[in-house]
Amino acid sequence: MTSADQAIRRIVIVGGGTAGWMTAAPLSQMFGTRPGGAANPVGCEIVLVESPDIGTVGVGEATLPSIRYYNDLLELDNAEFMRKTQASFKLGIEFKDWGHLGNRFFHGFGGFGPAIHNRSSVAHWLRLHQAGGMPSHEEWSTATVMARRNRFTLPEGGAPSAANSYSYAFHFDAGLYAAFLREYAMARGVKREEGTIVDVSLRPGDGFVTAVTLADGRRIEGDLFIDCSGFRALLIEGVCRAGYEDWTHWLPCDSAQAVPCDKTLPMTPYTTSTAHSAGWQWRIPLQHRTGNGHVYCSHYISDDEAGRVLMSHLDGAAQDQPRQLRFKTGMRRRIWDRNVVSIGLASGFLEPLESTSLSLIIHGVSALVELFPDRACESHLVDEYNRRMTRQYESIRDFIILHYKQTRRDDSEFWRYCKGMAVPATLAHQMEVFRRSGRVTILDRDSFGEDSWWSLYLGLGMQPEGSDPLLRQVEEGVLREHFKRLHMAVARTVDGMPDHAAYLERLVAGG
């Protein structure tokens, strides 16, 4: 039982990038000053330290639907958020040239219609497709049909229908989002200290961090330290030596070049990912510009050549020189160690193919709130936190590896490596279950649900050899009728939706 004198009195967040402010905002809502300036009865002080000399990564423009739940928790006004961060809507990702040159498929947010007899609708679709005469499964995904036609409106409430069987996320300017959350957190009492940390004090015996010292000599004490210092991992690695699981052999991309470009039309409500000879290129439309970037493996292509590939496939005129970034895919062995919890890039990094980093920040903050400790940071809470975060990292890792492993491309050394590489046992099992019997095995809290895995398998051209016997319970004629009705409902629903750019313009104008 936590006694009052064991309660955390001061939280120190190290780092003011997207992770730092995404952590500060919900904590300030829980513990900070109440609206009107009243003190919070369960209050504890929150201090965020950011260096004026060490920049932020700054990229991170595409998100997953979890960002909406995060924004809702903070009770953000949607139109204001979209205005201030230059956001657009995202219904999923279009993949080009991944399975083979010329291959094109969509990973949309939301499913392919309601489950039938407890089995995913797309599993039934496959049965009909194999018998012949069925259009692509994508035509039953409202998100995909909307995306292909550049339409967007918010999902309707009410009974399940094609008008609410999709989900959505946002593209936004990550720097502006961090600034928006900084305003939010500081209005609720978070204290911001500007300075570069040069020293860290530890308690003798258990090695808990007790204070950080800034270059000008200021000393900031705390009970719980949240390491959001980015790839530097100042506390979790620099002090705690938590260790790093390096996954480069499964996800070999280790570099990126990013360049903001002038806004181009159409303003697609989706991210585009185009595979190149040693990596892939993103296109992300925002209100004020289009983000372009090339993620690649430096073992197979030089930086100069990667830059040329990026610049020759730009959408919109470049507004700046490309920015070079390096990373090592993997995760900390202990994301929480002693009284240091790492969130954001300090905890690990999975390349941005499925836009999962901000979502992992949300998982990290939610798990911290759920397992919030007292000053002792007892090991059962720390272990549970690490178990949950490891599961998230590993399940996302496997999902991303599948994009590479399942390719049929053999036009470059990079793709030949990806096709031939061994994969983690968890993914090998997952792929085997699908290949042999058309089933997807995931856990409840995994970031990507069953329909996401189906989108990938089918999009990359993987078909199961066997099938689930329960699918045959439904009579084929009845099933065809059902799919015909659903197909018409999706098409009709999307027909009535506005153009994405027009809808967005009205929304941010307050209409």
Closest separation in Å from C-beta 8 to ligand FAD: 21
Residues in 237-276 that interact with ligand FAD by CB under 6 A: 256, 258
Beta carbons within 8 Å of 269's beta carbon, 6+ residues apart: 88, 89, 90, 91, 146, 147, 150, 151, 152, 168, 500
CA dist 295 and 276 (Å) reads 9
Out of 11, 358, 389, 460, the only residue in the binding site for ligand FAD (CB under 6 A) is 358
Q: Which stretch binds ligand FAD (CB under 6 A): 351-359, 370-378, 450-458, 478-486?
A: 351-359
Q: Which stretch binds ligand FAD (CB under 6 A): 14-22, 108-116, 428-436, 473-481?
A: 14-22
HSE-CB for 415 with a 13 A CA cutoff: 18
**Closer CB to ligand FAD, residue 145 or residue 212?**
212
Neighbours of 467 (CB within 10 A): 16
CA dist 216 and 196 (Å) reads 8
Under the binding rule (CB under 6 A), the answer on residue 228 touching ligand FAD is yes
Kindly give the interhelix angle for 379-405 and 450-459, rounded to the nearest 10 degrees.
Answer: 20
Closest separation in Å from C-beta 246 to ligand FAD: 16
Q: Which stretch binds ligand FAD (CB under 6 A): 183-191, 227-235, 262-270, 301-309?
A: 227-235
Token pair in block for residue 364? 């990290």
Token pair in block for residue 457? 């398998």
Under the binding rule (CB under 6 A), the answer on residue 497 touching ligand FAD is no
Q: How far is CA 483 from CA 305, 464, 466, in A?
A: 47, 21, 22
Binding mask 148-187 for ligand FAD (x = CB under 6 A): --------------------------x-------------
Helices and strands per DSSP (H, E), number in the chain: 14, 21
Out of 18, 141, 452, 455, the only residue in the binding site for ligand FAD (CB under 6 A) is 18
Binding mask 24-63 for ligand FAD (x = CB under 6 A): -------------------------xxx--x-xx-xxxxx
Under the binding rule (CB under 6 A), the answer on residue 344 touching ligand FAD is yes
Token pair in block for residue 299? 């073992």
Residues in 284-303 that interact with ligand FAD by CB under 6 A: 293
**Closer CB to ligand FAD, residue 52 or residue 510?**
52
Residue 90 among the catalytic residues:
yes
**How would you class 161 by CB atoms within 10 Å of its CB: exposed for 0-12, middle for 13-18, buried for 19 or more?**
middle
Closest separation in Å from C-beta 171 to ligand FAD: 8
Dihedral, 469, 473, 478, 483 alpha carbons, nearest 10: -40
Catalytic residue among 90, 263, 405, 419: 90
CA dist 271 and 261 (Å) reads 15
Under the binding rule (CB under 6 A), the answer on residue 355 touching ligand FAD is yes
Beta carbons within 8 Å of 58's beta carbon, 6+ residues apart: 17, 174, 175
Which residues contact ligand FAD (rule: CB under 6 A)?
14-20, 49-51, 54, 56-57, 59-63, 174, 196-197, 228-230, 232, 234, 256, 258, 293, 325, 327, 344-346, 352, 355, 357-358
Positions marked active-site:
90
